[in-house]
Amino acid sequence: MKKLYLILISFLLISCSFNQTFSNREEDKKEAEEISKKFFWELKYGGNLDTIYNLFGDKFFEVTDKEKLLQIINTTQNDIGRVEEYDLVKWETLIVKGSNAKSEYLLVYDVKRGTAKTEETFSMEKDKNGDIKIVGYKVNQDLLNK
């Protein structure tokens, strides 16, 4: 009977997952901000497409190919204008360390462009190499206040 209890307890301990969760830590925000700053810098000064593409993860390119991303960037730059200023207005982070590890980041910016303002949202995740990559990018423009 003792062996049965020992086996049951062993299975319970093996099947348990041990995780440590961190939500909305300033240090995680700063780490993710580095990626969006690189993106905006390239749009404003650089324009190196390979550098821009390297900021995006495989998950992003499973849904959107590089030509579509380039079209979004070019259309935004040509129709609304180049990036002049950007301010972080909302952010969320979720870091889980342990057996079910994941790192997710959401940053929302108000971006002043040539002719209008946009709201640009970045969804990011850490990849298997520990690098933060953009997995979602959305540009919203308020057409009523144009």
Domains and CATH numbers, the chain: 19-142 (3.10.450.50)
102: three-class secondary structure by DSSP: strand
Mean pLDDT of 113-120: 92
The more confidently predicted of residues 19 and 140 is 140
Name the least confident of 6-10, 16-20, 39-43, 58-62. Answer: 6-10
* pLDDT of 82: 92
Residue 51 scores a pLDDT above 80: yes
pLDDT at position 19: 79
Q: Contacts from 53-59 at CB under 8 Å and sequence distance 24+?
A: 55/133, 55/134, 56/133, 56/134, 56/135, 56/137, 57/124, 57/125, 57/127, 57/133, 57/134, 57/135, 58/127, 58/133, 59/125, 59/133, 59/135
Are the beta carbons of 97 and 20 closer than 8 angstroms?
A: yes
